[in-house]
């Protein structure tokens, strides 16, 4: 199997998840690998994970590597039944949740954390994209930001910044060094503690930063935007992913309530976000 993975990588295939698989299979003969062997390996390698992880990180890459070598004439192709996935409905952040979080973070002297929350909700940015974004990637006058992803395949997208996002970022105290992180966090782990503290002080439902991305999709779908538009503006590579993940938002009969919510994207007077030293953009 070590040779199988080496040949797979030499062909320019993705190395994602392969290191752990190579360590697991080691010198196991390919003739000793069967569909149920691979399914069992998934649970052994990730005992605390669930079906999507087993499928994505073990079954799919192992099968792909073996079938690549089958194309080279080394072995027979293999077909492995995936574990049935029952995706849980993700709790999305709402515009009101984001406003209250940002207000509390600002009150706590954390305008960069407030801006991070507003930014992720307004652009559907992943936490890794947001942490990676430097000042050179932001154009407040043009109301755009360039976001980068490197795994599994490098790509980038340009996101529009709604007015509340522009205001939030403008109120971050910084020397605007082009190569300096906009929000001041190196990676998702460095955000967690401060984020959870703000959630607790604000008396909010405990949601993770990624729930802001879910909130973007759910709110857009509630507003009647088609799946393809949501996928394009939110950085999903295909509309199918949005449809599969957020079908509950489309099927929600209460979406018609938003017909009368004309100020969904704007802070109301009672919960207006207060930013000190507001600058002209």
C-alpha span between 186 and 130 (Å, rounded): 10
Angle (CA) 179 181 187, round 5°: 130
SS (H, E, C) 34-73: CHHHHHHHHHHHCCCCCHHHHHHHHHHHHHHHHHHHHHCC
Q: Give mean pLDDT, residues 168-190.
A: 91
- Distances from the Cα of 126 to the Cα of 19, 78, 169, angstroms: 25, 35, 17
Q: Give mean pLDDT, residues 152-167.
A: 88
| Average model confidence (pLDDT) across the chain | 86
Of the listed ranges 184-198, 203-217, 258-272, the one predicted with least confidence: 258-272
Confidence of residue 222 (pLDDT cuts 50, 70, 90): confident
pTM for the full model?
0.64
**pLDDT tens digits for 75-89?**
999 999 999 887 666
**pLDDT tens digits for 261-281?**
545 444 443 333 333 333 333
Say if residue 155's pLDDT is above 90.
no
What is the structure's pLDDT at 29?
94
Q: In 124-161, which ranges are continuous DSSP H helix?
A: 127-132
- The answer to whether 271 touches 104, Cβ cutoff 8 Å, is no
C-alpha span between 70 and 65 (Å, rounded): 9
Confidence of residue 150 (pLDDT cuts 50, 70, 90): confident
What secondary structure letter does DSSP report for 273? P
């Amino acid at each position: 199997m070590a040779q199988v993975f080496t040949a797979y990588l030499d062909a320019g295939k993705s190395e994602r998840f392969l290191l752990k698989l190579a360590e697991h299979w080691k010198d196991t003969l390919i003739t000793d690998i069967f569909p149920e062997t691979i399914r069992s390996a998934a649970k052994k390698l990730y005992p605390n994970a669930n079906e999507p992880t087993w499928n994505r990180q073990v079954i799919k890459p192992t099968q792909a590597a073996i079938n690549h070598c089958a194309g080279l004439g080394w072995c027979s192709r293999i077909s492995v039944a995936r574990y049935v996935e029952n995706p849980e409905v993700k709790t999305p952040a709402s515009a009101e949740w984001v406003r209250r979080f940002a207000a509390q973070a600002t009150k706590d002297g954390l305008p960069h954390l407030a801006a991070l929350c507003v930014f992720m909700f307004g652009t559907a940015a992943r936490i890794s994209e947001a942490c990676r974004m430097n000042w050179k990637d932001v154009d407040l006058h043009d109301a755009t930001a360039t976001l980068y992803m490197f795994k599994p395949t490098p790509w980038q997208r340009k996101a529009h910044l709604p007015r509340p996002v522009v205001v939030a970022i403008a109120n971050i105290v910084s020397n605007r060094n082009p190569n300096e992180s906009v929000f001041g966090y190196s990676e998702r782990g460095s955000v967690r503690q401060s984020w959870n503290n703000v959630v607790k002080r604000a008396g909010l439902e405990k949601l993770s930063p990624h729930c802001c991305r879910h909130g973007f999709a759910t709110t857009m779908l509630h507003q009647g935007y088609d799946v393809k538009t949501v996928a394009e503006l939110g950085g999903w590579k295909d509309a199918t992913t949005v449809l599969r993940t957020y079908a509950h938002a489309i099927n929600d009969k209460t979406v018609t309530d938003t017909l009368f919510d004309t100020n969904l994207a704007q802070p109301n007077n009672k919960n207006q976000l207060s930013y000190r030293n507001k600058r002209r953009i």
